[in-house]
Structure 1
Amino acid sequence: MPTPPRRRTPFGPRIGAVCVFAACLALLSPVGAEAAARPGPHPDHTLQQQLEELVRAPGGPPGVIAVLHDGRRGRVLRAGVADLESRRRPDPYDHMRIASAAKAFSGAVALSLVDRRYLRLDDTLRERLPRLPRAWGSVTLRQLLNHTSGLPDFAQAPAFQATLRANPRHRFDSRRLLDYVADRPLLFRPGSRYQYSNSDNIAVALMAEAATGVRYERLLEQLVYRPLGLTRTSLPQGYRMPRPYLHGYDVSPPAPPEDVSEVLSMSAVWASGGIVSTPVDMTRFIRGYAGGRLYGRAVVREQRRWIPGAASEPAGPGRNAAGLAIFRYTTRCGVVLGHTGNTLGYTQLIAATPDGRRSLTFSVTTQINQALKPALLQRMRVVQENFVCALLR
């Protein structure tokens, strides 16, 4: 595609906007976020009981916090503690690792650039990132965003894992993470099947940088954080957590819970899972992102071309289907769009109705997935579906 004129900046008004920029900011203003942080006058005791049972379950999280927003007001339900030492309660302004929910942020950047015509969904790695292996050249941005690329997952590479085991706080060059699998062919023909891969979103961020000449962290700030009013969200390189924060734990009975909040360097995951945020900011984000407020209708339509049965990691509530850096969760009560994530010490679900009016942010302080805790994951998905039903009612 032609190179955009140098005078253009990706931070200007987007093409084909579906809402006035100022109106979008007003809809997601700090006033709305503060309302989301206040419990409503009539808490749902059944949902509260389910959270408390999840905390008490074998291997369950020391803390859980859920923020439901119905478009007018929000309420917070929480159980357990944010920190086993202080015993304080989880707070909507506590920082947390959002894990693979960060992939939605790389999607937001890439689709915003598609809307501004800096990128096309059919752009290939060969065109945008010629330094990557020639064997990967035909992979498109679309295939990276819906995990049909066939890229081998750098996080599974023996050399990467050995480095991490030797020093979990090792400072990686985040822009060279794909080098760990550069000697490997594609796992399958691009577009022929779905397979979740952390490499996909590293490549997405690199394509965004190549198209604009702007670092990914600044693209996040200008194209996502600022438009949606995210004031407590960042992409760190180190292992430290901003204060205050939800402490993440390894809960593996009979051993006592171990605080693992600051064990891993986020340079090891970068655009695939390194973002730190808060329940309040994630509520703002998913309402704007699922509602399509960052780009025009044509891009939204492309984003919502679903691959049935393709699940996020871990799977979200109900039946899962994959779009472009977003998933559709079809529950017994209706449909929400969003993303999940899990990493050492944390598991996340963010979801909203397709219009972005109603949202759920559901955060727990231990890692729950199919490989580690399949029974607990199934139990959590049931609770999450009940929360979605309460949201849609």
Structure 2
Amino acid sequence: MSRSSVPSHSSVPSRRAGHRPRARALTVLSLCLGALAPAVASADAGTASGGGAGHPGDRALERRIAEFVRSPGGPPGIIAVLREGRESRVVRAGVADVATGRPPTPDDHMRIASTAKAFSGAVALTLVDHGALRLDDTLRKILPRLPSAWDKVTLRQLLNHTSGLPDYTESQEFLDILTADPRHRFDSRRLLDYVADEPLRFRPGSRYQYSNSDNIAVALMAEAVTGTPYEQLLRELVYRPLKLRNTTLPQGYRMPEPYLHGYDVDPADPAAPPEDISEVLSASGVWASGGIVSTPADMTRFVRGYAGGALYGANVVREQRRWVEGASEPAGPGRNTAGLGIFRYATRCGVVLGHTGNFPGYTQLIAATPDGSRSLTFSVTTQINKTLAPERLARLRAIQEDFVCALLK
């Protein structure tokens, strides 16, 4: 495959001293892409609804997220969509855009971060259902150009993060390029080149380790067996059957309007305004591992179909739900275990299946009951994870569990 051209972009401007936003965003990427406010303009916690206004318990949920938004280091905005059957309830706090004070809505675009890994799982498992791929297909068989040291890694191991592939987002060369130009346009299909000289981290299948490289390899396998670009496979195998209207996999850094602005917040300096970092980084550097842009409404449709097994037959669903020890990044509510492109979240109120994600400016959770009848999409407009904010992550997971309980009860 030939490398794409690399256009030059100007560096990202900073309002604060030095280059704090760019530096922090790059630190976030290097530490937490695995996955890849103070002084809020308004703390609106009103409920919008598609038929669920005044639903019992929603006021308590509103209070929980409004308190979180107002807390030091809290996000400028949160929106949650709970759906049961045909009834949708939207619970929100804060703002989609600090500059305007506009509240978040289900049709706002957002970076879905590592929940994009569920989309690569959907593509791969649909191809398994069609017979184009097998779960025991190896990299040697499908992608012989990759390093021979990786030959025995199977599609199953890529999908449940037991492959041992080194994570390209930890490559110093990759990070140096981002530091020099955060909006650099990578050749997404050559991202694994940054770790091509590295051995496997462990024997494939012997343990769990979340790696962004896994889902890049999954997408490349899907392209190799179909001769079709991954973006087109997404449209044909996922967007169209699940009726996703506002979901794309871009290459650049621009966000489509309207969108949930993603922010960097500084809990150590409550007087500092949130820094808008929505368009700091190019999506090309995360591609199938975290580059998709979608909306809460579309993600609700997606997780209901995906977790509910609507895209493939019962035999594939059964294989997808063979759980191993392992948590999503960041960890979701309750006890986490890993399947094929999906996680099981066992909460105090019951089990939901889904995925989480974090990216500079965004933290995501999508989850649904195993039959897809009830779902939760929970979107936060700052990055929260165990590396940057362990205490806030613990609090966020507790809030998310409350929402799961409200959904299941």
Could you tell me the TM-score, scaled by structure 1's length? 0.90
**How big is each residue's C-alpha offset from its partner over 1:346-391, in whole Å with a ceiling of 9 and x where there is no partner?**
0000000000000000000000000000000000000000000000
Runs of 4+ in 1 over 3 A off after TM superposition: none
Aligned residue in 2 for 1:240: 254
Aligned residue in 1 for 2:243: 229
Structure 1 distance, partners of 2:389, 2:104, is 23
**How big is each residue's C-alpha offset from its partner over 1:291-334, in whole Å with a ceiling of 9 and x where there is no partner?**
000000000000000013x1000000000000000000000000
How is 1:166-245 mapped onto 2 (pairs within 5 angstroms)?
166-245=180-259
Aligned residue in 1 for 2:395: 379
Aligned residue in 1 for 2:39: none
Question: Of 271, 276, 281, which residue of structure 1 is paired with 2:288?
Answer: 271
Aligned residue in 1 for 2:321: 304
**1:362 equivalenced with 2:378 (yes/no):** yes
Structure 2 distance, partners of 1:323, 1:187, is 20
> 2:276 is matched by which residue type in structure 1?
D
The answer as to whether partners of 1:283 and 1:359 remain within 8 angstroms in 2 is yes
Aligned residue in 1 for 2:355: 339
Structure 2 distance, partners of 1:41, 1:319, is 31
Question: Of 313, 317, 334, which residue of structure 1 is paired with 2:333?
Answer: 317
Superposition deviation, residue 164 in structure 1: 0.5
| % identical aligned pairs | 74
Structure 2 distance, partners of 1:388, 1:258, is 30
How is 1:4-23 mapped onto 2 (pairs within 5 angstroms)?
none
Superposition deviation, residue 45 in structure 1: 0.8
Which piece of structure 1 moves more, 237-246 or 67-76? 67-76
Structure 2 distance, partners of 1:37, 1:104, is 27
The answer as to whether partners of 1:37 and 1:280 remain within 8 angstroms in 2 is no
Which piece of structure 1 moves more, 43-52 or 331-340? 43-52
Matched residue of 1:228: which SS?
Answer: coil
Superposition deviation, residue 256 in structure 1: 2.2
**How big is each residue's C-alpha offset from its partner over 1:23-59, in whole Å with a ceiling of 9 and x where there is no partner?**
xxxxxxxxxxxxx962612141110100101101211
> 1:176 is matched by which residue type in structure 2?
R
Structure 1 distance, partners of 2:176, 2:341, is 29
The answer as to whether partners of 1:39 and 1:76 remain within 8 angstroms in 2 is no
The answer as to whether partners of 2:51 and 2:87 remain within 8 angstroms in 1 is no
Flag structure 2 segments of 5+ consecutive residues without an equivalent.
1-47
Question: Of 40, 50, 54, which residue of structure 2 is paired with 1:38?
Answer: 50
> 2:129 is matched by which residue type in structure 1?
D
- How many residues are aligned here? 357
How is 1:1-150 mapped onto 2 (pairs within 5 angstroms)?
38=50, 40-43=52-55, 44-150=58-164
Could you tell me the TM-score, scaled by structure 2's length? 0.86
> 2:60 is matched by which residue type in structure 1?
T
Root-mean-square deviation (Å):
0.9
Structure 2 distance, partners of 1:58, 1:149, is 39
Structure 2 distance, partners of 1:387, 1:320, is 16
**How big is each residue's C-alpha offset from its partner over 1:87-136, in whole Å with a ceiling of 9 and x where there is no partner?**
00001000000000000000000000000000000000000000000000
Matched residue of 2:75: which SS?
Answer: coil
The answer as to whether partners of 2:264 and 2:360 remain within 8 angstroms in 1 is yes
Structure 2 distance, partners of 1:109, 1:56, is 39
Aligned residue in 2 for 1:25: none
> 1:99 is matched by which residue type in structure 2?
A
Matched residue of 1:336: which SS?
Answer: strand
Aligned residue in 2 for 1:283: 300
